[in-house]
Amino acid sequence: MDLKTRIWMTGSLDWFGYIDGTEVFLGHRSFPNPLEEGDQWTTEAGDMFKVIDGEIMLTGKTEPPKKYW
């Protein structure tokens, strides 16, 4: 799959990308790697993403996932 969204990983293993010209946090452990068409995930902040036609799309916002320690 050819990914059209520009993404990068920082030294602290956080993933970022440009969506609609804006730098967006894509997650760290929640980020699926390698990306495939149709992959979807929710970040720790509750942002929901999905890969559609080779682009990462912000599909909405939800309540952040609960962490159970």
**Listed range (9-18, 23-32, 46-55) with the worst mean pLDDT:** 23-32
pLDDT recorded at residue 64: 82
Contacts of 50 (CB under 8 A, 6+ apart): 38, 39, 40, 56, 57, 59
pLDDT recorded at residue 66: 80
pLDDT recorded at residue 62: 94
Task: For residues 11-17, give the mean pLDDT.
Answer: 94
Percent of the chain whose pLDDT exceeds 90: 72
Band the pLDDT of 59: cuts 50, 70, 90. Answer: very high
